[in-house]
Amino acid sequence: MFLLVDCNNFFVSCERAFQPQLEGRPVVVLSNNDGCVVARSNESKAMGIKMGTPFFKVRALVDSGALEVRSSNYTLYGDLSSRVMSILRDFAPKLEVYSIDEAFLVMDGIPLERLKAIAGEIIRRVRRWVGIPVSVGIAPTRTLAKVANHFAKRYSGYRGVCVIDTDEKREKALALTPIDDVWGIGWRNAPKLERVGVHTAADFTARPQEWVRTLMGVIGVRTWMELRGTPVIGEEERERRQTICTSRSFADMITEPEELSLRVSDFAAICARKLRDEGSVAGTIGVFLMSNRFRDDLEQYFPQDLEHFDIPTSNTPEIVAASLKIMKRIYREGIRYKKAGVIVMDIQDARFVQPDLFDAKKEERLRNDRISRIMDQVNVTGRQYLRLAVQRPGHYADGIRMEHRSGRFSTDWSELMEIH
């Protein structure tokens, strides 16, 4: 059996964990630069606020006191996610972290009654130790556990735990599950299925397997089998990304090359860290700059350029140095820049990089690799305690508009809660 533990309205719940005055209040969390709504409490959903709503459309509700707003605080969210996952590891022989707020617990061989007790204890412990409410779906496949979790969240009568352990429960749950809510169907396949009369998960499982294969291929068949109670989806290695991009719009336009270099070096360092996290290296790096395309009164300029590495790399000093080399090449004085970004490409598995016997910079590369590993070990909270001199001091998000950000209560000594 599988338990899917999902944090309820995770970003909002993280804010409420340190700000209890937000409990029961309509709350929304905004995207980078306070652009649009990316998370909502149940109360704000009931007000009709949709995901992706631009902030300016709900600003009047905030000004009137009818709605609470917070800027994204990813340092806080990441730290609380790590705390939740560390608790879940104590309950399962095997934990599969699916996203920042979801994880599958593989519970093979444990009796069902014991699973229900474990689920209840998970809910109590995570709430008590971290302050985050969670829901648990229990089922014989990962996809059915997802379905069960939806019901655990939606209906208070389940008390946070929904179990699908019989064909009768499975068939009833599938009949009540819209096809676009099924994990693995996706926004591309749902309209296609609805056009041929498949509106619920039950409609989908009622179709013959060959029909599903013809329409959706092997991925569709796997979802079909999982919904019928046969586990076929495993913890598979995620497909290696072909490109990694880090970019930001600036709160204010930038003209000075020194300030722009600080931003670009930050983005390059983040790309390097992501490469190492995935066990990858990149053979090419690109940098792009953008003026403010919404300002017709200003000169427009959108340059970009690439640099190739002699040997694919993931170390921070080499990637940052290459990004600054490109930036200096494409920078034009007098332009007011609103956005910049770094892209690493030609990504491959770091284990299979072919070394060059005549590499004159071998020792330097090895040293930079060691430096990068040490930086990763120290910067575990996302804070740049160790950084290159060409990077900005502080947090990489500094300089992004976050007018409504709460404190980084759990990771920054200067932002600890104050009790009066």
Residue 274 has pLDDT above 60, yes or no: yes
- Domain contains 178: yes
Residue type, 76: L
Tokens of 116: 């229900």
Split at pLDDT 50, 70, 90, the class of 383 is low
CB neighbourhood size of 15 (10 A): 22
Q: Look at residue 364 in the predicted model and tell me its pLDDT.
A: 83
Would you say residue 30 has pLDDT above 70?
Answer: yes
Q: Which range among 135-139, 182-186, 272-276, 389-393 has the greatest average pLDDT? A: 135-139
What pLDDT sits at residue 28?
A: 96
pLDDT of residue 374 exceeding 90: no
- 184 shares its domain with 109: yes
Quick: pLDDT tens for 137-185. 999 999 999 999 999 999 989 999 999 999 999 999 999 999 999 998 9
CATH number at residue 263: 3.30.1490.100
Residue 39 has pLDDT above 70, yes or no: yes
Cα separation, 80 vs 204, whole angstroms: 37
**What range does the domain containing 27 cover?**
10-76
CA distances from 65 to 29, 43, 246 (A): 15, 14, 35
Q: Is residue 49 part of a domain?
A: yes
Domain end residue (candidates: 76, 111, 129): 76
392 has pLDDT over 80: no
Question: Of 43-57, 85-99, 376-390, which range is least confident?
Answer: 376-390
* Predicted local confidence at residue 362, as pLDDT: 76
Name the β-bridge partners of 348: 281
- Region for residue 136 given its phi and psi (left: phi exceeds 0; alpha: psi -120 to 50; beta: otherwise): beta
* In a shared domain, residues 36 and 145: no
Mean pLDDT, residues 67-85 taken together: 92
Are residues 244 and 342 in contact, defined by beta-carbon separation less than 8 angstroms?
A: no
144 lies in some domain: yes
pLDDT tens sequence across 199-210: 999 999 999 999
212 and 99 in one domain?
yes
Give the pLDDT score at 394. 60
Amino acid identity of residue 280, one-letter, is S
Phi/psi for 104 (5° steps) reads -95, 135
183 shares its domain with 222: yes
Q: pLDDT tens for residues 84-136?
A: 999 999 998 889 988 899 999 999 889 988 999 999 999 999 999 999 999 99
pTM: 0.73
Mean of all residue pLDDT scores within the chain: 89
In this predicted structure, what is the pLDDT of residue 237?
A: 45
Residue 189 is predicted with a pLDDT of 87
Asked whether residue 159 falls in the same domain as residue 283, the answer is: no
Q: What is the dihedral of CA 128, 133, 139, 142, to 10 degrees?
A: -110
Whether 238 shows a pLDDT value over 70: the answer reads no
Domain count, the chain: 3
- For residues 220 and 348, membership in a common domain is answered with no
CA distance 250 to 291: 10
Could you say which of 227, 253, 286 is where a domain stops? 227
Does one domain contain both 189 and 266? Answer: no
The answer to which of 39-48, 227-236, 266-275 has the lowest mean pLDDT is 227-236
- Shared domain for 221 and 328, answered yes or no, is no
Q: Report if residue 95 sits inside a domain.
A: yes
Pairwise CA distance, residues 372 & 43, whole Å: 44
| CATH number reported for the structural domain that contains residue 208 in this entry | 3.30.70.270
Q: Which tens digits make up the pLDDT trace of 329-355?
A: 999 999 999 999 999 998 988 887 776
In a domain, 184, yes or no: yes
E strand intervals along 332-413:
337-349
In a domain, 419, yes or no: no
- Where is pLDDT greater, at 287 or 350? 287
Kind plus residue range of the DSSP H or E element containing 263: helix 257-277
Regarding whether 157 and 114 lie in a shared domain, the answer is: yes
Domain boundary among 227, 254, 283: 227
What amino acid is encoded at 52 in this protein?
Answer: G
Which range has the worst mean pLDDT, 51-60, 179-188, 311-320?
Answer: 179-188
* Cα end-to-end distance, the chain, whole Å: 48
Residue 356: pLDDT above 80? no
The residue whose two tokens read 């009833």 is 172
| 48 belongs to a structural domain | yes
Comparing 3 with 416, which gets the higher pLDDT? 3
